Chain A
Amino acid sequence: MELKEKLISSFLAFEDNLEADSPLHDLRNKAIKTFEAKGFPTKKEEAWKYTSLNSLLKNDYSIFPSQENNVEFKNVKHFFLHDIDTYKIVFVDGVYSSFLSETTHNKLDVCLLSSAMNKPKYKPVIEAYFNKIAKEDSLTSLNTAFAKEGAYIHIPKHKEVEKPIEIINFSTGNEAAILLQPRNLIVVGENAQVQIIERHQSLSENAVLTNSVTEIFAEKRAFVDYYKIQNDGPNASLIDNTYISQERDTNCNVHTFSFGGNLTRNNLNFYQKGEGCNSTLKGITILENKQHVDHNTLVHHIAPNCESHQDYKGLFADASTGVFNGKIIVEKDAQKTDAFQQNNNILIDDKATINAKPQLEIFADDVKCSHGCTIGQFDEDALFYLRSRGIGLKEARALLMYAFANTVLESVKIPELKTRINKLIAKKIGVSLGFEL
C-alpha cells in the first residue's frame, strides 16, 4: 500500500481511539480530507521544484509506535545542553519520556500538548491558538489530522523565562522505519521572553521521516529566540513546518543550523500582524555526501513599520544540494517596511549544487526591500593570505568557513549553545581551531 493510502486508512482507527467529543474532531477530519485531496507535494509544484520526496515515500513507515521505548540518559546526554540548567520536553519515538524531561507548571507551562488538549483548564488557550496560523497545505494538514503529541509552552505575560527550553525528539530505530509527526504549540504572552532549542535526533541508521508542525504566537512586545539544530543521522529526514505570528512590537528570531540528516525541508513562515515587529531568520548549512537541505522562508509583512532580516549561509561539499527559496510579501498597508534578505553560498566541490530563488511581492510604495545572493568558491586571495602566514590549506579553509558563518553565529544568545555549534562546525569541517568565534 502506498504511504498516502496507508495514512488515510490509519486515520479512521486513530480517530476512533480519541474521545468522540474532542473539540478537535472536526478539525482532524477536515485536515485528513485536505491531505487526501492534495497528496504529498511533487516537483510539479513551484514550491517543491528542487526537492523530491519520492525516495522517502517508498519506505514502509510505522505510523504509531508499538511501545514506549526507553533511552538511557547517559547515552543521549550529549544531545542536550547538559552544562547548563534547562527545561526539557523529550519524546522517544513520538512518545513523551517523563524520565528524560524536566517540565514545569510553576508560573509558566512547559509540558505536553496531549495533556493540554485533554484538560479543561487549557481549553481556552487551545481554542484560541491551536491550528490558527498553520497553513492548509498537504503536509501541515497531515500533521494536524494526526496531531496528538508535542510540546506545549505557554509563557504568561511579563514572564522572562530564566532558562532555555529544549524540545528533543529521539527516534530509537526499534522500528525499521518510522514516521513521526510532532506538533508544538507555543504561546508567548505580552512582554514575555523565552529561548527555545529544538532538535530531532535518530539514534540508529534506520529510516526516520519527521513531519513536524510548530505554531508560535508572540503577543505584544514578546521576545522569542528559537534555535533549530539539525544534525541528524544519515537516514533521518525532516520536514519542518514552523509558523510564527507576531503582534505589535514583538521580536522573533529563528536560527537554523543544518549540518546533518538525509533530506531536510524547512518551511519557515513569519506573519507580522502588528506594527513595530522585528523578525530575524538566520541559518548556517554545511552539507556533504548527498545531503539535501531546502530552506523555504516566508516573511509576510502585513502591518506597517516592521523589519525583517534574513541571513542564510551555505557550504556545500561532495554531491550535496541546497535550496534557498525566500519569499517576502509586503502588503499594501505595510508602509515603511524594511526587509532584507541575504543568501551566500560556497560550493566546495564541483558536484555540489545550490538553487537559490528570492521572491519579492511588494504592494506598498514606501518600503525598503533588498536581497542579495552569491554563489562562489573560496576566495583564492584570502586563502593565499592565510597560507602565507604559515596556516595550512585545510586550516586556512576552515578559518574562512568560520569567517563566512560568523554573521549568523554572532547573534546566538546562549553562550553554551554557541560553543556547541562551534564544535559541531569544527567537527563537520574536520578541523579544530584553538579558539571560538
Chain B
Amino acid sequence: MLQIKNLHASVEEKDILKGINLNVNAGEVHAIMGPNGSGKSTLASIIAGKDEFEVTNGSITFDGQDISEMDPEERAHKGIFLSFQYPVEIPGVSVTNFIKTAINETRKAKGRPDMPASEMLKMIKEKADLLEIDRKFLSRSLNEGFSGGEKKRNEIFQMAMLEPKLAILDETDSGLDIDALKIVAKGVNKLKTKDNAVIVITHYQRLLDYIVPDFVHVILDGKIVKSGAKDLAYKLEEKGYDWIKEEVNA
C-alpha cells in the first residue's frame, strides 16, 4: 500500500529525514517509536503532504502511485488520514458541519454527489456511539476549548467517518488518560480491516498494549535504525533508546 524509499527531507535547509525506508501493506499495523526530535512527526506530516518540508531525495508511493508532489487534499481523497498531535481549533464551525464538509469535499473530488443527509446522520450516530462521544459534543466548535483527550477522540471520530485506507496516528496517546486511551484504541481496532492499514507514532508502548502492532520501527536521527515485532516496544520501554544508539554506533 505505502512504499517509502530512501526518503530525505529538510526544513529550512536542516536535514530531518536522512533516508527512510518503510513498506506498509494492507491489513498491517506499524508502530514507529523514537525519542523527541528523531523525525517521527515529520515523517507523518510528509506522508500527509505538508509542504513546509522539502523532500530532497527518495520517493513516497501509495497504491502504486507516486504521491510526493500531491496536495494534502488529494492524498486525503486517495485515503490517507493523519490524526494530528495538535489538532487546530476552528471557532464557529461545529464538529458535525466540519465532518460533513470533509466528507462531501472528498466525494466531490471523486465525482460523487453529496452524501444524503439521512445517511450522514446515521453514520455520525453510529461512529459517535462507537467512540462513546456525547451528542452535545458534536455541535461544539471544532476543537475549541476541547481538553487534550477530547481533541484526540475527535480526531479518531473524524477518522471513523472518513474511513481511510491508511491512518497515521501521530502521538494520539499523549494527553489521554487510561480510560480515554482504551476507548480510542477500541475504536481504531473496530475500524481495522484486512484492507486498511495503521501507522501508530508514539513515545510509549502503553498504547501498543491496546493497538497491537505487527511491526515496530525505531527512528533515530532521521533514520529507521531497527525494526522488529511487538516485543521490541517492551524492550524500549524497559531500557530506553541508549542501547540502540550504542548498537548503531558500533
Contacts and interface: CB of A to CB of B under 8 A. Distances in A.
Contacts of A392: 73, 105, 109
B90 A407 contact: no
A170 B77 CA distance: 48
Interface size class of B (residues with CB under 8 A): 35 or more
A422 B49 CA distance: 31
Interface in B10-54: 45, 48-52
- Of A379, A380, A386, A389, the most chain B CB neighbours within 10 A belong to A389
- Of A407, A410, A437, the most chain B CB neighbours within 10 A belong to A437
B162 A384 contact: no
Nearest to B142: A403
A390 B73 CA distance: 4
Contacts of B100: 434-435
B91 A389 contact: no
B92 A402 contact: yes
- Of A391, A395, A399, A402, the most chain B CB neighbours within 10 A belong to A391
Nearest to B84: A385
Given A379-B88, A385-B84, A400-B90, A390 B71 contact: no
B202 interface: no
Contact of A410 (B87, B88, B92): B92
A406 B92 CA distance: 6
B205 interface: no
A4 to B, nearest CB: 46
B93 A403 contact: yes
B227 to A, nearest CB: 26
Contacts of A57: none
B105 A382 contact: no
A16 B101 CA distance: 64
Interface string A394-437: 01100110110111011000000000000000000000011101
A387 B93 CA distance: 15
B54 to A, nearest CB: 14
B72 interface: yes
A403 B92 contact: yes
Contacts of A390: 73, 76-77, 102-103, 105-106, 109, 162
A47 interface: no
B172 interface: no
A407 B87 CA distance: 20
B82 interface: yes
Given A399-B101, A435-B100, A435-B101, A388 B48 contact: yes
B129 interface: no
Nearest to A387: B72
A184 B5 CA distance: 72
Given A389-B76, A390-B73, A409 B101 contact: no
B92 A391 contact: no
Contacts of B87: 385
A403 B101 contact: no
Contacts of A379: 88
Interface size class of A (residues with CB under 8 A): 20 to 34
A125 interface: no
Contacts of A402: 92-93
Contacts of A435: 97, 100-101
Contacts of B3: none
Interface string A319-352: 0000000000000000000000000000000000
A390 B49 CA distance: 11
A388 B91 contact: no
A27 interface: no
Contacts of A384: 45, 48-52, 72
Nearest to B48: A388
A402 B51 CA distance: 24
A382 B104 CA distance: 19
Given A400-B90, A434-B114, A387 B76 contact: yes
A434 B104 contact: yes
Nearest to A392: B73
Contacts of A387: 49, 71-73, 76
A391 B49 CA distance: 13
Contacts of A375: none
Contacts of A18: none
A388 B104 CA distance: 14
Contacts of B91: 403, 406-407
B158 interface: yes
A19 interface: no
Interface of B: 45, 48-52, 71-73, 75-77, 81-82, 84, 86-88, 90-93, 97-98, 100-106, 109, 114, 158, 162
Interface of A: 379-382, 384-393, 395-396, 399-400, 402-403, 405-407, 409-410, 433-435, 437
Q: Can you list the 6 inter-chain pairs with the closest CB atoms, starting with the nearest?
A: A406-B92, A390-B76, A387-B72, A390-B106, A389-B102, A385-B88
